[in-house]
Amino acid sequence: MNLIELRKITKVYQKGQQEITPLKELDLNVQEGEFLALMGPSGSGKTTLLNLLAGIDGPSSGLLKFEGIDISTYSRRDLTRFRSEKVGYIFQLYHLVPVLTAYENVELPLLIHSMSRQERHQRVLKAMELAHISDRSDHYPRQLSGGQEQRVAIARALVCDPPLIVADEPTGDLDSESATRILDLLGNLCRELQKTVVMVTHDPRAAAAADRTLHLDKGVLNEELST
């Protein structure tokens, strides 16, 4: 079953007098529980597509369905609610708050939701356990390795239990061993929890961990490889 359906999606930005079109009438289906990698050269539209899937931005035209609901015409307020409930975002450079502990960083997305302190606590513990970072809950980001920081970021992405996890170069700043562990973790989220993961990467070795690799070139989806 498709979690995401894109039909004739186009995105146009205005830069001065120039129109920039990073995506042109793009069609895409992403299934529930799939691990999808997006590859392509810089400027090919990968991050633009990721941001549309994550509800960070909306398309200029076309249809974008999530769980069968058209979100392509959502207002900014609707997109904010959509992101908080449906999407976990993993950044290349982690984006952890340096003055907060690992536990507090993971807890942050829950603070806008109406729930008891005990429920928040249980959710944070579960997310950190899934990301294998429970033993660093009281550590600050400066006390963690890059791989550990990324695990905290993954726990933060999981804490609201969203069906979709989007990851922008999640292994780009990591050594080979740490990168392998992060990719294994993302794969396990799909296989064991039926999360859908969409990952942008420049690294063919990272893409090889996904179920499917799609290649973008100048805003056009022009190649698909099974891994």
The predicted model scores a pTM of 0.92
**Mean pLDDT, all residues of the chain:** 93
pLDDT, residue 224, reads 52
Contacts of 7 (CB under 8 A, 6+ apart): 27, 62, 63, 64, 65
Distance (Å, rounded) from C-alpha 38 to C-alpha 46? 6
225 pLDDT tier (thresholds 50, 70, 90): very low
223 pLDDT tier (thresholds 50, 70, 90): low
Provide φ and ψ at 50, rounded to 5°: -60, -40
Strands, sheet with 2-15, edge to edge from the N-terminal-most edge strand: 18-31, 2-15, 61-66, 69-70
CATH code for the domain of 72: 3.40.50.300
Rounded to whole angstroms, what are the CA distances from 224 to 49, 62, 66, 141, 203?
16, 21, 22, 38, 16
Query: Where do the DSSP E strands lie in the chain?
Result: 2-15, 18-31, 35-39, 61-66, 69-70, 87-90, 164-168, 196-200, 212-217, 220-226
218 pLDDT tier (thresholds 50, 70, 90): confident
Task: Please tell me the total count of domains within the chain.
Answer: 1
pLDDT, residue 51, reads 92
Structural domain harbouring 213: 2-226
17 pLDDT tier (thresholds 50, 70, 90): confident
For the residues 129-135, what does the mean pLDDT come to? 96
